[in-house]
Amino acid sequence: MTLSGKTAIVTGSNSGIGLGVARELAKAGADVVLNSFTDRDEDHALAAEIAAETSTNTRYIKADMSKGDECRALIETAGACDILVNNAGIQHVSPIDQFPVDKWDAIIAINMSSTFHTTAAALPMMRSAGWGRIVNIASAHGLTASPFKSAYVAAKHGVVGMTKSVALETAREPITCNAICPGYVLTPLVEAQIPDTMKEYNMSREDVIKNVMLERQPSKEFATVEQLGGTAIFLCSDAAAQITGTTISVDGGWTAL
């Protein structure tokens, strides 16, 4: 399928799943807006590399997804938004009675409230273009819970709920809104939580991967960023035009347990 002529904005896309999804969207022909909160030469170089590889007008726009006005400014600066992938996210692992308040606030802002702000700013553009796709990268933790991840689980359940509301608000329009719920994908975000989880469970790195992370994933394999990109492309296709307000799990069977 071709997404040529479409502008796709992927929040939090200079790394991990966002970058993988951005690459797949550009390969399908979309002009992609990469984003993160940094403004380094390498961020712009990454976008230029994807643009050159895919012959698309892919670029990078800095915006901090922890700030509502910057979320909205990202969409306005892009100037068009046919496909919105809300992906930016952070994690912190801690028992709730010791959970740092600043971490709680940051996780709720980046993982959940950013989706509210970008969606609110993008919908008028989708409506005037007569087509739109909103793809929220939630998590298996948007459908189930784990200990020590109260803020993340709350934010991701919030994103799944918001997905349903937005789908109902746009149900009579050629716009869909869905959430992809990945299980574990070996990205920098997952790498970063291995040391804390080792501490919480008093386990080695290998045991955390095998007995904590992939213990929940019956396939015993990490999902890949390419598979998540492919799922996003499917949600942008005509075959998915009647799929709205739902979740697609890419979790090796986690939520079937």
Active site amino acids: 152
Structural Rg of the chain based on CA atoms? 17
Q: Which long-range contacts (CB under 8 A, 24 or more apart) does 93-99 make?
A: 93/148, 93/149, 93/193, 93/196, 93/197, 93/200, 94/148, 94/196, 95/147, 95/148, 95/200, 96/150, 99/150, 99/151
Name the DSSP letter for residue 110. Answer: I
Among the listed residues 94, 198, 180, 190, the one whose alpha carbon sits nearest the alpha carbon of residue 143: 180
64 contributes a contact to ligand NAD by CB under 6 A? yes
Tell me, residue by residue from 92 to 121, as one string, x for binding to ligand NAD by CB under 6 A and - for no binding.
Answer: ------------------xx----------
Return the number of the residue (3 or 22) whose C-beta is nearest ligand NAD: 22
Residue 190 Cβ vs ligand NAD, minimum distance, rounded to whole Å: 4
132 contributes a contact to ligand NAD by CB under 6 A? no
- Burial label for 189, CB within 10 Å (0-12, 13-18, 19+), is middle
Tell me, residue by residue from 134 to 153, as one string, x for binding to ligand NAD by CB under 6 A and - for no binding.
Answer: ---x-x--------------
Return the number of the residue (7 or 13) whose C-beta is nearest ligand NAD: 13
Instruction: Kindly state the number of chain residues that form the binding site for ligand NAD, as judged by CB under 6 A.
Output: 27
234 contributes a contact to ligand NAD by CB under 6 A? no
Residues forming contacts to ligand NAD in the complex (CB under 6 A) are 12-18, 36-37, 64-66, 87-90, 110-111, 137, 139, 182, 184-185, 187-190
